[in-house]
Every structure is written in C-alpha cells, then in structure tokens.
Structure 1
Amino acid sequence: MDKTPILYWMRRDFRLADNPALTACDGRPVIPVFIRNHSVDDLGAAPKFRLGRAIGHFAKLLEGKGGRLILRRGDALEVLRDLVGETGAEAVVWNRLYDGTARDRDAKVKKALKEDGLAAESHNAHLLFEPWTVETQAGGPYKVYSPFWRAVRDRDVAPPCRVPDLTWPGDWPESDRLEDWALEAEMNRGADVVAEHLLLGEEAARDRLVAFIDTRVTDYKDDRDRMDRDGTSNISEPLSYGEIGPRQCWQAGRRAMEQGSKGAETFLKELVWREFAYHLMFHFPRIDRDNWRAEWDEFPWRQDNEDAKRWKRGRTGLPIVDAAMRELYVTGRMHNRARMLVASYLTKHLMTDWRVGLRWFEDTLVDWDPASNAMGWQWVAGSGPDASPFFRIFNPETQAEKFDPDAAYRDHWLKGAGAEEFARAIPRSWPEDPQDPPPVGLKEGRERALKAYEDLKS
C-alpha cells in the first residue's frame, strides 16, 4: 500500500461519516488541513464564529484518534504547494463546493496541482444531486421547484460511504493556533449566549436526526410551521458545516417514509428545496447579489434605513416580528415560518431591499447557507425564480394567531427567558428599547407595497 501522505483539504465537511474525500484516502497517511483565505475572512460575524467552533470541535475529534488538523492562512494554492513541499504528499483531495467563488478557485487549484504532477481529486459530499446532473427535457436548468422535485424524487441516492480507517504521517507539518485566528472577534454581541444554543459536532447532529425521525417526523407536515412547537428537524446548522451529510438525512427520511410516516415526504421535499437552491446558484451565480428577474431593478425599494434598523434590533412594535428577530440574535437561528414572515415585513411593509435583509441574515445566522439564504430572500421578495407573488404579503397579526395561537413563542422572546438572554446578548451601543408604535400600519404598508408593485407592472 502507498504510504506517501495525502493532503485532505477541508472546507465545509467536518465529519468522518459519509465523507467521500476522506474515504478516498484509502488507508494512506492523511494530513487534514483547513486554510483560512479570503472566503473565510468575508464571512459574516456569526457564520465565522460558528466555523471556528466547528474547526475546534473537529480538531479535538481527530486528536482523540491520534491525528491533527493543520491550520494555515493564505492563498489556497500557495498553501497546498507549501504543504506538498514540506510533507512529500503526492495527492490532494477535497469535497466540492458550488458557489461561483469556490468553483473558480477550485478549478484553478486542480489545474495547477495536476500541472505540478500531483493527483488532485474532488468529491461530492455537500449535495444529493449535483447541479449539472439535473436537467429539463430541453437540456437546461430548472427554474421552478415542483418539476425539479418530480425530476429527482425517485432517483437513486448513493448510500452514505463508510467511515475510513485513518492512518497518520510520522511527522506533522507546523500549524497555526486556532485561538490566534480570533474567528469570534467580530461577534458584536454575546457570543457566550449564542454558544449555549449551538448544535455542535457530528455526534450531536446524528443524535438530533435520530430523535427527529423517531419522535417528530410523523407530525412534521403539520408542526413545522408552528413557532410554538419543536416540530422541525433543526439540522440546518450542522448540515451547513458538513457535520452531517445530506445522504444521511435522505436515507433516514426514506426509511421513515417506507415505514408509513406521513411527514417523511415533506422532510425529503425540504432537503430537495436546499438542493434546488444550489441548482439555481450554480446556474445563476449572481443570485445572491442581483435581482433574478431583471424587471425588479426598477422597483423602488429603500436601502438600509431607520425602519430596517428597528427591524434588525427586534423593535418594530409588532410582537411576532420582534420575537423572531430576537430569536435570531440570541440563538443564531430562526424558525422557518418566522423567516418568511420577517422577510415579507421588511421587503413589503417596510419597502426595503431584500439585500438589506440578506446581509443581516448573512451576519447573524449560525446556519447561514449561501444558496438557501439568497433563494429564500428573493423568493419572499418576489424578485427570484419560482417566487412567491409580490402581492402575497404576510399579515404578522394573522400569522401569529395561526402559528403561535397561545402566544407562547412571543412570550418567551419578549417576556420570558428568551427576553433575558436577549438583554445579555445585545451590544451596549444599541439604544434603549423604545415604546414607539410600528413604523407603518399593516393596512397602510400593504397598500403602499401593492401600489408600488402595480406601478412597476405598468
């Protein structure tokens, strides 16, 4: 067996199970490496903080097995070349990412390494269906979710690959210290408060998935919209960092569906909604920056403004909106129904550009995902593919009555333990909680948004 070391370049795959790149090392001494480059530096505060926790947790996991995680800073190709020279490695493996920046970088790295005479292999660990493998009958990308779902729902998905037998090199290259990277430095709020709510690591993610399938997936179709219940899978956070793989989730959902669980298909559809987001980002890489529908470039959205600042701080005066924004600030996550509600309120009642909200979520979500965030905001705003019609404007009061009927969710974040956590987490620079009324009446805001929409069409 070849005993020359192999470099395993990590990005968003902090797990041992179902890790194709790691499995491809196939018994050779493996040197796991994480590179801090501009793509890491450009992350928002909460994703960067959460990434640091993922790195630290996985490093300890490797240490428990006699290994190490090598940390380096710099241009990815330069760092990998340096490590090849230091270790004698003859191969580099990694798992693919699908946003435009990552694709361009990875293509450059693969080409250069091969020209250097090295083996360079990339694998799929992040998606069920890679974007170029799903096409319409005309041969192009899908732009609507429903036919995309029908195209993939009966496809065979490879089972999770085995956990490899890991071997390590005799000598290790030098590594940066994680604490010197200070990935938590930009958290302008209580990082210690947010840390209490993290679902961190492969084992915790697997336990959460098992518990969901065993106890909640049956009622998932009905309960997933209830903000006052623990009815969701709550695996978006570890899925974003690759602490659990989509094939593991798909396999668990299919097994539950075969056993007659009525909510399992809905769970699978939500996994495919994430796949659809990456399908769109792959084929339309500017979806996180530009209106997908060009006609929306003329819509009179406001840029960042005082009303949007109140929205960010959970101080709009609308209880359900404020509760959701405070949940985000304390936990780094937000219930999916609440995400749609607050996005609708910002883009329609407050007439604020969806990119203002996208950037706030990008900075505050620990489960931030570039494709899902972009598609979600454009879907609610009405400017994106397969979008919710602009005239569908959520009424926060009726949404609260339907999905938080006893006000348990609102009370927790505005009066109860959640409110106490919020008080500990907010920056001291924020002004005291005002008692002002909402910045715009619900009827007035709705009518203003609809008029702007009619003007755009005409």
Structure 2
Amino acid sequence: MEDGQPPIILWFRRDLRLSDHPALAASLATGRPVVPVFLCDDLVHTMGAAPKWRLGLGLEVFGRALNDIGSRLILRQGDALEQLQRLISETGATDVYWSRAYDPASIARDTKVKSALKEQGIEAKSFAGHLLFEPWTVATKAGQPFRVFTPMWRAVQGREVPPPEAAPTRLIAPAYWPTSDDLATWHLGAAMNRGAKIVKPYVQPGEQAALDHLEGFLNRIANYGADRDRLDLDGTSNLSEYLSLGEIGPRTAWHRVQRAAFEGTQGTGSFLRQLVWREFAYHLMYHTPQLVSGNWKPEWDAFPWNEARDAPEVKAWLQARTGIPVVDAGLRQMYVTGRMHNRARMIVASHLTKHLMTHWKIGMEWFEDCLIDWDPACNAMGWQWVAGSGPDASPFFRIFNPVTQQEKFDPKGAYLNQWIAEGRPKPSETALSYFEATPRSWGLNPKADYPPPVVDLPTGRARALAAYERRKNQ
C-alpha cells in the first residue's frame, strides 16, 4: 500500500469511462490507492448476445485506458458479493465504491452487497453518474413520481446539472495487484456466432470514440429536430450505445450541448429533450419496476396478445420477412449493425404489437438479444409506449401505418435500398450482409422472392382497433 494506506475497490459496471465519473472522483479525492474491478456475475451472464458481446469490446478498450494511467482492470467471475469479499481479503481494501444502477435486479444485488459489506465493517458507497438526476429527486408538486413525460421535462429544464469531472492522468496503484481473469476466457461474444464478424465494422468502442461521436454530432445538431426521424439521413447523435455502457456520461453530453447552445448553435433544445426522455425511462423503471417485466398499466393484463413465439407471423417478424419493406429494413439494419434507427424501432414495434397482435415482451426480449445499445429502461419503456400498455400511450392513434411512415421518413426509398436485397438487380452490400449475419438454420437467400405481407395492413389495423375497443369497454 502506498504510504501504508488501504486501497479502495472501485467496482465498474455500466460506467466504463474515466471522465464524468463521481465514484472515481471520490476515490481520487482520498489520495489512496485504487483497485478497479469488473465482475462477470449473474447479471452479466443473463445479458443478450449482442449487448454482452459489445460489453466485451468495451471492457477491452477500457482496460487499455486504465493501463495508460498506470492502473489496470481486475476481472473476476462469479457472485458479486463473494468476489468482492475475496478481493477485500487479498488487497486489504477497507472501502468499495460503485456507480448506482436502477433496474430491479441490480438494486437487489447492490442492496445485498452493501448490507453484507457494512456488517463486515467495510465502507460501501454508491454514487450517481448514470443519470442527470437521481430518480428520487424529481417529483410532481404533490411529491409523486412523474407518469407523463412533458411535465417532467418542464420540471427539470431549469435544474442545475453538476459539471463533469475531468479524467485523471494517473491512478495510485496498490502495493499488491490481485490476480485477474483473462477477458477472452469469459467468451462474452460466443452467442453472436457468425454475426459478430458482420457487426464488428460498425462498432467503435470506448470513451474516446464516444467523445468523438459527440463532437461529430455537434457539427450537424442544427438540423437534429427536423432530421432525427429521417430514416435516410444521418440525423441522430449515435450516442445510445455509449450512454448504455457508460462510455460517455450524460452530464458530459448535457454540458457540451449547452455550451454549443450558448455559442449560438441551433437544434440543441431538441437533443436535450431526448436526454431527459432517457431520464424519464429510468424514472419510471425506478419508481414502477414492473415496467421491465409486466404491463405498466395493469388493466392491460387481460389484453388478448398472441404470446406464441413460434406463430408464423412472429417467425416472419423475427426473420425480417414480414413482407412490409420498412419493417424488414429496420430489423435487418439491427442484424447487420447492432443498432436500429429510432423511428424504425417505433415502426417495427407497432407492426408487431398492433398489426400482428403479438405481446410486446416478445419484441422487447428480441431487442435485448440483438441490440448493442440495449438499455433496460429505454428498451422496456419504448416497447410499452408503442404497445399501449405504458406511459403516454394513445393506442387508438398510434397504430403506425408503415407504408405512410416510409413515405414520410424515407421519401426516396434510400433506406429500403440500403437494407432490402430481394428483387433488386444490384443489391447493396449492406443488404446482402443481412444474409451473412443471420443464422444458417433460417435458410435465407437474397435471390429468393420478397415475401408477401403476412398480415394485410388494413385487416391488421381493424383487428387491433376492435381489440382495443373491447378492452376499453371491459
């Protein structure tokens, strides 16, 4: 130990960065050695194929970043409490710090860990960092959690957001480094199979890549309000995967965009609103944890959604062969890049839950398996918002017509050309990549005919509206 001081174990989770990191800043302020740790516990093991693979890429880059400042990332696999106790015994650490998580499973784990460590006389502290505002600090005038986004947006616009901390140039190393697993032995990308090779060129992991993306976005943010829904334009921030893994902190994005606004850049307000939309998802998940596992509105429990994953129409949706080009294009974009345009997500989700009358949990879990930017709160809220069972839902008016959506947001068909191969004399490379990314067992061929719609759109819409009307009357 440097100067005889016991080290602090800094438990990294979805916060793989050095700047804008309150737990790291608190560790540095003590002047004591720091042992950075990442634990591959049950919560990591249950992650879907794509986000788990993307996590592995992020850990690799983050480990190198720690090496650059004289530290290292200790990797351990197993029960979180058991591994932390072993590390405490091996290092003589008297404190464990971490950034808070807000999903039900993480809260249960962290509560258990904190209680057990405190009983042992270990100082266990959790810190903010994943959100702009802690969920319990934002409330209505009546002191209740928000259930509608717009009032929450109004409530937080004038609130102060603490400035992000700068990245350290050095971390004090302990006198003794505990042993670490080899990241490769965790096989975090095993479930991706051949899809990993296809998605890899679209991924730039790490904090520096996140900061570069933010700066690049600021060059085009002036058109964000108008372009963010266009499927055929690069109008979004592309920050979702970085925010999900904490490779960039929300305070960094908030303050950098605020500075651009002060300098006269247009379009910043629309983006800040989207950052608070992310906050709203976490606000709901924290206060109403059933968001991630069941209908947010319990009156939807009796709604007659199809829950058979092997139903022909569900299989067609999973394979991006619904016969509705913009729906299939969105799903194929996800299989090739690991991401999907947000407008496409809404169209795809609406088609599954409305026209195909399929339970939103099937779609939510599929996204959890396939998206490299998977986020537990945003994914759950997004699906329930579209399905009608969640907040701000207007089911009678939110049955997206995918044809008119495509005409409005992809007016020249560029998005379709990018992702649909069948029936085209010279398919794009991206469209062909879909057939290389998907399982061979699907037996898909780009030279095959494009399928007819599995459900006629007017018929599907009428069926959904009739079901909604029956539910309302009941």
Q: Give the TM-score, by structure 1 length.
A: 0.97
Deviation digits for residues 318-375 of structure 1 (CA, Å, limit 9, x no counterpart): 1111111100001110000000000000000011000010010000000000000000
**Is 1:224–1:231's contact at 8 Å kept on the other side of the alignment?**
yes
Q: Does 1:240 align with 2:244?
A: yes
Matched with 2:163 is 159
Q: Which residue identity lines up with residue 12 of structure 1 in the other structure?
A: R
1:306-321 correspondence to structure 2 within 5 Å:
306-321=312-327
Distance (Å, rounded) in 1 between the aligned partners of 2:204 and 2:378: 19
- Deviation of 1:189 after TM superposition, in Å, equals 4.0
Question: Per-residue deviation at 1:108?
Answer: 1.7
Alignment of 1:244-283 (within 5 A): 244-283=248-287
1:291 equivalenced with 2:295 (yes/no): yes
Q: Determine if the alignment matches structure 1 residue 46 to structure 2 residue 50.
A: yes
Sort the Cα spacing of 1:2 and 1:94 in 2 relative to 1 into closer, same or farther, 3 A. Answer: farther
Structure 2: how far apart are the matches of 1:68 and 1:450?
57
Q: Are residue 6 (structure 1) and residue 15 (structure 2) matched?
A: no
Amino acid at match of 2:229: D
Q: Is the 8 A contact 2:435 2:444 kept in 1?
A: no
CA distance in 2: counterparts of 1:441 and 1:81, whole angstroms: 58
Please say if residues 2 and 28 of structure 1, whose CA atoms lie closer than 8 Å, have aligned partners that are also in contact.
no
What residue identity is the alignment partner of 1:426?
A: T
Equivalence map 1:74-153=2 (5 Å)? 74-153=78-157
- CA apart distance, 1:188: 4.0
Where does residue 464 of structure 2 map in the other structure? 449
2:320–2:328 Cα contact (<8 Å) kept: yes
Task: Specify the code of the residue in structure 2 equivalent to 1:455.
Answer: R
The residue matched to 1:287 in structure 2 has which SS? helix
Match of 2:173 in 1: 168
Residue aligning to 1:205: 210
Correspondence for 2:225 among 203, 207, 221: 221
Q: Deviations over 1:128-154 (max 9, x none)?
A: 011000011111100000000001011
List alignment gaps of at least 5 residues for structure 2.
Answer: 421-426
Shift of residue 391, structure 1, vs aligned partner = 3.7
Task: Check if 1:373 corresponds to 2:379.
Answer: yes
CA distance in 2, matches of 1:139, 1:243: 33
Q: 1:2 Cα deviation (Å)?
A: 6.6
Q: CA deviation at 1:389?
A: 2.6
Kept in 2, the 8 Å contact 1:57–1:200? The answer is: yes
**Identity among equivalent pairs (%):** 57
- The 8 Å contact of residues 100 and 130 in structure 2, kept in 1 or not, is answered as yes
Deviations 1:185-213 (A, max 9, x none): 11144201111111310001001101111
Q: What CA distance in whole angstroms lies between the structure 2 residues aligned with 1:180 and 1:390?
A: 50
Pick aligned residue for 1:384 from 365, 387, 390: 390
Structure 2 residue matching 1:234: 3-state secondary structure: coil
Q: Answer yes or no: is the 8 Å Cα contact 1:381–1:388 preserved in 2.
A: no
How far 1:64 sits from its partner (Å)?
2.6
Amino acid at match of 1:341: I
Could you say if the C-alpha distance between residues 423 and 432 of structure 1 is closer, same or farther in structure 2, counting changes exceeding 3 Å?
closer
State how far apart, in whole Å, the 2-side matches of 1:418 and 1:316 are. Answer: 19
Structure 1 CA distance, aligned partners of 2:298 and 2:401? 27
Shift of 1:258: 2.5
Aligned to 1:440: 455
Cα distance in 1 between the residues matched to 2:94 and 2:364: 41
Q: Determine helix, strand or coil for the equivalent of 2:291.
A: coil
Counterpart position of 1:423: 435
CA change 1:388–1:256 in 2 (3 A) is farther
Paired with 1:189 and 1:394, the residues of 2 have a C-alpha distance of 33
Offset of residue 16 of structure 1: 0.5
**What is the CA deviation profile of residues 80-130 of structure 1, one whole-angstrom value per residue up to 9, with x for unaligned ones?**
111111011111111100111111211221122122112211111100011
When the two chains are superposed, the root-mean-square deviation of aligned CA atoms in Å is 1.3
Match of 2:186 in 1: 181
Tell me by how many angstroms 1:428 deviates.
0.7
Q: Tell me the amino acid that sits aligned with residue 61 of structure 1.
A: A
Q: Structure 1, residues 360-398: CA drift from partner, whole Å, max 9, x if none?
A: 000000000000000000000011111243442111111
- The 1-side partners of 2:451 and 2:345 are apart by 23
The 1-side partners of 2:284 and 2:327 are apart by 29
CA distance in 2, matches of 1:108, 1:2: 30
Distance in 1 separating the partners of 2:456 and 2:265: 43
TM-score by length of 2: 0.94
Q: What is the identity, as a one-letter code, of the residue corresponding to 2:124?
A: A
Larger mean CA deviation between 436-445 and 266-275 belongs to: 436-445
Distance in structure 2 (CA, Å) of the matches to 1:79 and 1:441: 54
Q: What letter corresponds to residue 446 of structure 1 in structure 2?
A: R
Cα distance in 2 between the residues matched to 1:115 and 1:443: 62
Residues 241, 71 of structure 1: CA spacing in aligned structure 2 closer, same or farther, 3 A cutoff?
same
